[in-house]
Structures are given as C-alpha cells and as structure tokens.
Structure 1
Amino acid sequence: MSSFFSKLRPSKLGKKKNNQDAAPTSLYANSNNSSQMSLGQKSYTSSTQGRNYPLQSNQIQSAARQDQHMQTKPQGQFNNQMNSMNQMNSMNQMNPTNGYQPLFLRQPFVRSALVKGSFQTIVEVPRYVDQNEWIALNIFEFNSNVKQFVTMLSDYIDQSHTMSAGPGYDYLWIDTNKQTVRLPAAKYIEFTLSWISSKLDDASLFPTSQGVPFPQNFLMLVRSIYSQLFRIFAYLYHNQFEKIVHLSLEPHFNSLFCHFTSFGKTFDLIDRNESVPLQPLIQSFEIQGKIA
C-alpha cells in the first residue's frame, strides 16, 4: 500500500515523549532514514519516524495505481454533500426503525474502494518466505500507512477529542506509574505510534540480521501492536471519517483497512472483542467480498 501515499507529506510523528514507554489499554464503558527490506534477508527499514520499506513481489503492487491523485473536493461540493448527510441523519433519528448509522457505514462510502475483489490473495505467505518475516514486513507497512493517514488528518485531531470509538468505547493509557489515564486523542495516538516505533526499532524483537531468530513471544508482541493500530483505525472511522471524505481519501482508507483486517484474520492477530467498534463495517466488507 505504500503507493497509496506517494504524494503525501512526510510524517511529523514519532517524536519520543516522556510517557512513550507506558502502554496503551482500553476501557469498555456504558523520517526518512531508511534501508532496504528484502524477503529472506532480514534488513527491514529503520527510521525514527517509522519504517518505509517497499512491498515485495505479489504484495500490493496493487490497486492503488488506479487512483494516486488525492485532491480535495471543492468546498461547494463538500457543503452539499454534508447537507445531504445531515438530512439522512435527521431521517434516521426521526424513524427509529431505520436506526442511526455512522457515516462510514452509509452509501456510497461503505462501498468506496480502490479495487474490486478480495485482499486474501495478497495476505497469504508467499512460497519460500518465512512466516515471521512476512508478518514483520506487513506490520512495518501497516504502521507506516497508518502514520500517513494520521499526518494527513493531524490538523483535525485536536486536544478536545477523546480517544474513543463510538459511544461506550473509550481507550485509556497506562502511564509509567501503572495508572490508567484518559488522554486526548492526539496525545494517545502520538504515544501509541511512539510505543510501536520503539518495538519495531528493537532488533531483539524484530531482528534485522540474517540468521538471528525471532523471539519466542514474537506473535504475542505483534498482536499487541496490531490491536493498537486497530484502535487508531476505530478512532478515525468514528471521529474523522467526515474529514477523510472531504479529502477524497475514503477509497484509500477503506482499502487499507480491508487489507489490514484480512491480514489480521489470516494470522489471528486480534480478539473479536477488540474489533467490536468496527464489526458492522467488517461484516459489510465481508458481504462485499473485500474481506474473506
């Protein structure tokens, strides 16, 4: 998916903060320095601002070529679109049988994507490639792409937003004193991406030298990283999707999420309870055949 973002400005994130060694949790309430990555030779990209290494062979030389022009929609068009959405909101609220649907579940946005078909074929481990190396490659790439989206939306994620994924789903942070604290979404995401980068940069966890084995707890660590990235997806879908539409990024965002979710399902990287805030969206993508 790296080609999705070839024209986006570099990430501003990744600066280390005092709380970066703390860990994220959840409460369910009512740079450009890079090296090459080659499969079979452990040489992942290393960067203080995230890893940007190219996808290999049959991974996504994808679909994204069809639409690399991320132009902002004209303000008049956007205003008309927002008025239409507001009318839909009112209709849903006036008729309880319809039920309220968030914007990302409505037509045409829920069907917006760069390509047709399932992502299953590009998440499977290629022949002769070690599974752990394949997982590491994809986790690096997902982290880089999520950072790109956060950077694009950073002007809209201000200190007044809480880190939530819809009513009843608030994500809390565990600080260095092992206390759970409620952080603004901007700060929570900043700390989370810094925490993930600290793990990806640790050669004892993600080895980069040929012949050095992955640690025994590698999959456990990957599941933790995957869950944190999922929470950022959940926050952006529930709180920033209107801005994503305004920037004409919904096909890219949906496609990235379908790829991300297909990968997580294939390698059992997320607990179903964690995916609840976006389960209706996942089910819709499954019905459409985007997620196998």
Structure 2
Amino acid sequence: MASSFLEFLQVNKHKTFRPKKKFPSGTLRYNLHKQAEASLHSGLDLKSAVRMPANENFDDWLAVHTVDFFNRINLMYGTIAESCTPQSCPTMSGGAKYEYLWQDGERFKKPTKLPAPDYVALLMDWIEVRINDEHIFPSDMSVPFPRDFQQICKKVLTRLFRVFVHVYIHHFDRLVQLGAEPHANTCYKHFYFFVTEYNMVSQRELEPLKEMTEKLIRANGRRPQLRQAYNNGR
C-alpha cells in the first residue's frame, strides 16, 4: 500500500497545495529522506518504518519527516481544495464538537474564527516560512538545529493533524469519489505512527479521529469500513 501511495504522490503532484520543500541532493538529510522513503517501499509495516535507524540523530529524523508530512498533507488537501470553500466550510472544524481558531502572534494576535480554506492557507504559509528558514531547518550540516527545534516541530505536526481532522470529517466523500481514500489512509497511518512513536502530538489533539484511527489500525491492511466513523463526527 505504501508504494501505491508514493506513486499517487508522483501522478498527482500538480495538485499540491503549496510548493514542495526539499533538502538539497547529496546532503545527509536528503539521503536520510531517501532512506525513509525507501523504507515505505520495503514491505515494512508503517509502525516499523517510522523507527529511527541506529546511529542517526533524532533531530535529523524529525526534520525529514516533518518536511515529508508537510508535502504529503499539502497534496491530500490539494485533492479536495475545490470542495473546501468559505461557503461549504465557514469554520475550521471537525464536526460539531471540534473547532480550531487561528492565532499566529503577528497578524492574528488572538484566537480567531476563520473559514477552513483561509485557516489552511494561513497554516501552510506559517509552516512554509519555518521549514524554509535555514536557521530552523538547515540544509547545511554545519548549521545546528535551534534549541527549541523539537517544540517547533511539535507545533507544526499538531497543526497539520487538524488538516486531517477537517478533511476526513467534512470531505471524506470527496476523497472516495477521487479514489484518494486509500492513499489518504496510508498517509494518515504513517503520520499517526510517527507522532505517537515520538510523542509529537498530544492525545487530546488526536481525540477527534480516535474512532477512525482504531478502525484503520484494526483493519491491518484490509480496507476498513470508515464511513460510519466519519459520519458520527458530523
């Protein structure tokens, strides 16, 4: 399933919501990215694939995965973006129970209610600034990661998870219609196993997709019956 997801990424790369971030070819982090990607092709289950290779630096492993998840979630959102409008999605929500407010400390100094596409656009801009900042995500191995690098990644990954919540709960039918559901599920499971392996997203934040996650993990390679889980969240 993982290889078909990577093929899906290649075929649909024109739908990416934002330009992809890449580490320069030939750098250690680029090689680590290729190593992580190869593990998805290797037949390893996704839970094993997220485990850091021996003798690697965790900040490097975290940087590579944070950038990869940014790129892949961009693609996933890009596939349904035309269906996510201020009219269809006037709030950034995950059903009636969960609503996300935007705050960046600059333009939006207080938590602010926004339509979902505006929230996602601001979120992707906010992440893009950070992953393209050579002081935060350095391509040059001689440049150290900042001391708060792991906290920055926690915030990035937590906010990216909210895109999963919105897409799964409000745009699941569109994923199915496009044939993107299996690929989104693979992306989600990879993300979920990574952030839980390294405690990068709190259990409280993961709660909106708890039922769906349990179904996906129990399915163990089979296509799970998810429609009821999504509809329950609406």
The answer for the alignment partner of 2:58 in structure 1 is: 131
User: The residue matched to 1:187 in structure 2 has which SS?
Assistant: helix
- Residue 61 of structure 1: how far off its partner (Å): 5.4
Correspondence for 1:273 among 160, 185, 204: 204
Alpha-carbon distance in 2 for matches of 1:35, 1:133? 11
Q: May I ask how many residue pairs the two structures share in their alignment?
A: 213
In the other structure, the counterpart of 2:10 is 6
Q: After superposition, what is the alpha-carbon deviation per residue over 1:1-24, rounded to whole angstroms, capped at 9, x for unaligned? A: 64431111425644xxxxxxxxxx
Rounded Cα–Cα distance in structure 1 between residues aligned with 2:52 and 2:26: 14
Distance, in Å, in 1 between the alignment partners of 2:69 and 2:38 is 12
Give TM-score scaled by structure 2 length: 0.81
- Trace 1:1-292 onto structure 2 (pairs within 5 A): 2-11=6-15, 13-14=17-18, 31=19, 36-37=24-25, 41-42=28-29, 55-57=33-35, 59-60=37-38, 62=40, 118-160=45-87, 161=89, 162-174=91-103, 176-289=107-220
Does the Cα contact within 8 Å between 1:223 and 1:269 map onto a contact in 2?
yes
Q: What one-letter code is carried by the residue in structure 2 that aligns with 1:167?
A: A
CA distance in 2, matches of 1:280, 1:258: 13
Query: Structure 1 counterpart of 2:73, which letter?
Result: V
With over 3 angstroms needed to count, the CA separation of the structure-2 counterparts of 1:201 and 1:42, relative to structure 1, is same
In the alignment, the residues of structure 2 paired with residue 280 and residue 236 of structure 1 have an alpha-carbon distance, to the nearest angstrom, of 15
Aligned residue identity for 2:99: D
Contact 1:13 1:151 (C-alpha < 8 Å) held by counterparts:
yes
Q: Which has the higher contact order (CA 8 A, sep 6+)?
A: 1
How far residue 179 of structure 1 moved from its aligned partner, in angstroms, is: 2.2
Q: Deviations over 1:182-221 (max 9, x none)?
A: 1111111011011011110111111221222211111111
1:259 and 1:222 mapped to 2: Cα distance?
16
**Structure 2 CA distance for aligned equivalents of residues 138 and 33 of structure 1:** 12
- CA shift for structure 1 position 58: 5.1
Cα 1:269/1:209, change in 2 over 3 Å: same
Q: Which has the higher helix share?
A: 2
1:11–1:148 CA contact under 8 A, matched in 2: yes
Q: Which residues of structure 2 form unaligned runs of 5+?
A: 222-234
**Contact 1:199–1:205 (8 Å) recurs in 2:** yes
CA deviations on 1:4-52 (whole Å, 9 max, x unpaired) are 31111425644xxxxxxxxxxxxxxxx468553556x2469xxxxxxxx
Contact 2:21 2:132 (C-alpha < 8 Å) held by counterparts: no
Relative to structure 1, the CA distance from residue 198 to residue 62 in structure 2 (aligned partners, 3 Å threshold; closer, same or farther) is: same
Partner residue of 1:87? none
TM-score (norm 1): 0.66
Seen in structure 2, the aligned counterparts of structure 1 residues 243 and 216 have a Cα distance that, compared at 3 Å, is same
Q: Which moved more, 1:281-290 or 1:236-245?
A: 281-290
Partners in 1 of 2:57 and 2:203 — Cα distance?
A: 26
**Letter of the structure 1 residue corresponding to residue 86 of structure 2:** Q
Structure 1 outlier segments of 4+, above 6 Å: none
> 184-193 or 210-219, which moves further after superposition?
210-219
What amino acid is the match of 1:59?
E
